[in-house]
Amino acid sequence: MNQAGDYITEEKRKMLEAELRDLKGPKRKEILEALEYAKSLGDLSENAEYHQTREDQGKLEARIVKIEQILRSSETVQGGGGDVIEIGSKVIVQKEGTKEEKNYVIVGSEEADMIKGKISNRSPFGEALFGKKKGDKVSFKTPNGVVNYKIVNVS
């Protein structure tokens, strides 16, 4: 697995496909109806509803393009389970000098969510962990200096 590649999990792919169907179907229709209504109100140069709806339409179309690009360019992975850290691996790490252990999942950049413990394979921490095994030590730079971790478990 190429660390620099674009990856998404099967779960994320299904979520994006569902969002795309919703955006191209009901949401697009809703915006077109709102646009027709706003046009019926008269003078478009001073019609705030028309301008807001056009802005909403632009955002919707941009999101559609973004999702289609992600689905086209991303490889779907099943996720982890081996001894070596890769996309989908569940990792337990311990920061040097502490006894506290933290759980993370290595994911593609589109799924990263630090609050949920999902670390991008392209983040400094994700890059440091990628390809390592249980018992290995990793270091990476942060704005506050170098941080060291020990890999407690990989699944």
DSSP 48-67: HHHHHHHHHHHHHHHHHHHH
Two structure tokens written together for 127 = 């890059």
Q: How far apart are CA 39 and CA 37, in angstroms?
A: 5
Helix orientation angle between 48-73 and 28-40, rounded to the nearest 10 degrees? 160
Domains and CATH numbers, the chain: 7-76 (1.10.287.180), 79-154 (3.10.50.30)
> What confidence tier does 44 reach under pLDDT thresholds 50, 70, 90?
confident
User: Phi and psi of 24, rounded to 5°?
Assistant: -75, -25
**Mean pLDDT along residues 50-63:** 95
Question: What is the band of 4 on the pLDDT scale with cuts at 50, 70, 90?
Answer: low
pLDDT tens, residue by residue, 7-23: 888 888 999 999 999 99
pTM: 0.74
Q: Which pair of tokens denotes residue 49? A: 């509803």
Q: pLDDT tens digit string along 61-80?
A: 999 999 999 999 988 887 66
